[in-house]
Amino acid sequence: MSGVLLSAKGLRLAFGGVKAADGIDLDVMEGEFLAIIGPNGAGKTTFINMSTGYLKPQGGEISFAGERILGLSPRAIVRKGVGRSFQLPQLFTEHTVLENAALAVASREGFFSALTPLLRPRWREEAMELLERFGLTGIAHTRADALNEGARKLADIAMAVALKPRLLLMDEPTSGVAASEKMAIVERLATVLRDARVTAVFVEHDMEVVGRFADRVAVWSQGRIAALGTPDHILNDPDVRREVIGIETGGSHAAA
C-alpha cells in the first residue's frame, strides 16, 4: 500500500431529519481492499453515492489522488478513475453480456469517435478477455435480462472494471448471490482486482467475506464511522459484534 487515494473530510448529508453522513472522515489507501460494514440505513451507500458524484454532500470535502472531486458529475469522476458497481446490477437488459462489456470498453476509448461497429475486433477481443477473467465467457451471448443474480453481479462489476478504474466502489457485491457460489465469486473478483491493481471499497454484510478479503474494515453507524481497523481487530470487537454483527460471543457470522 502507498499513499492516500480517496480522502473524505467531514462529509455531511441529511435527508430530512435523518443524518446519512454526519462528519465522515476516511482515507482510502492505494492498493487496499476496504470493507464497509454496518446496519441498514447507516449511510454506507450514501458514502458511495457522494464519492461518485451521484449525491452532493451538504458539507465536507472529497478528493481523489490529491484532486478535489466534490461537485463534479458522475461522468467527470468516472473519467478521473473512480468506478462503481451497484447493489442492483445496472446492466443494459436488451444487450448480451458481451455487448454490455463492449459498450463499457468502447466508452473508455472513443464512444463518440467513429461509426465503427460495437463488436469490432479490438473491442470484442478486449470485452471477451475481460469476461474470461470474470469467468463469464459461457454466457457472453446471453441477454443480460436472462442471467441469474450471481452472473448479473459479476457482469455489473466487469463493466466497471472495463473502464480501468484506479478505485472501484462496490455496493454489496455479494447480496442476492447464492451462498454456495458466494465465496467463489468473491475469490475470482479479488484476483481480478489485485491483478489489475485496483483499489477497492466494498459495502458488505457477510462477515466471512469481509474477514477473508478486506485489508481494513470501517464500521458505519448512524452516518458516522464507529470503528476502523484490521478485520481481526474489528470483527473481534465486542461492541461491533453486538451492534453490527448481532452476536454476543463466538465466531464470525453473516449478518442479516
Partner 1 sequence: MIAKHEAVLAALLVAAVLAAAAVSPWLIFILTIATAKGIAVLGILLLLRAGQVSFGHALFVAFSAYTVAFLAPVLNDVALLLPLGALAAMALGLVVGAFVVRYREIFFGMLNLALSMVFYSLLEKLYTITHGTDGIRVSLPRFFGMALERHAYEWAVLVTALVLAVACAVFARIYLASPMGQGLSAIKTREARLEFMGVSARLVLLSAYVISALMAGMAGAIIAMTSRHVTPHLGYWTASGELVFIAILGGAGGVIGPFLGAIAFELVRVYAAASFADAWQLILGTTLLLVIMFARGGLWGLVLKLTGRRA
Contacting residues toward partner 1, per CB under 8 A = 52, 73-75, 78-79, 83-84, 90-95, 99, 102-104, 106-108, 111-112, 114-118, 159-160, 163
Q: Which is nearer to partner 1, 114 or 256 (CB)?
A: 114
**Minimum distance, C-beta of residue 143 to partner 1, in the bound complex (Å):** 11
Our CB check for partner 1 shows the closer of 15 and 111 to be 111
Question: Of 78 and 130, which CB lies nearer to partner 1 in the complex structure?
Answer: 78
Burial 94-113 (b: 16+ CB within 10 A, else e): ebbbbbbbbbbbbbeeeeee
Cα-flanking dihedrals φ and ψ of residue 37, to 5°? Answer: -125, 165
Q: What is the DSSP letter of 242?
A: I
Class of residue 56 by CB neighbours under 10 A (exposed 0-12, middle 13-18, buried 19+)? exposed
How far apart are alpha carbons 117 and 140 in whole angstroms? 17
Cell of 209: 467475506
Shortest Cβ distance from residue 235 to partner 1 (Å)? 31
For residues 139 and 159, which CB has a smaller minimum distance to partner 1 in the complex?
Answer: 159
| 222 CB burial (10 A radius; 0-12, 13-18, 19+) | middle
Q: Please give the Cα distance from 147 to 231 (Å, whole number).
A: 33
Q: In the complex, what is the shortest distance from the CB of residue 211 to partner 1, in angstroms, rounded to a whole number?
A: 29
Tell the smallest beta-carbon distance from residue 68 to partner 1 (Å).
19
- In the complex, least distance from residue 70 CB atom to partner 1, rounded to whole angstroms: 17
**Complex with partner 1: residue 121 or 238, whichever CB lies closer:** 121
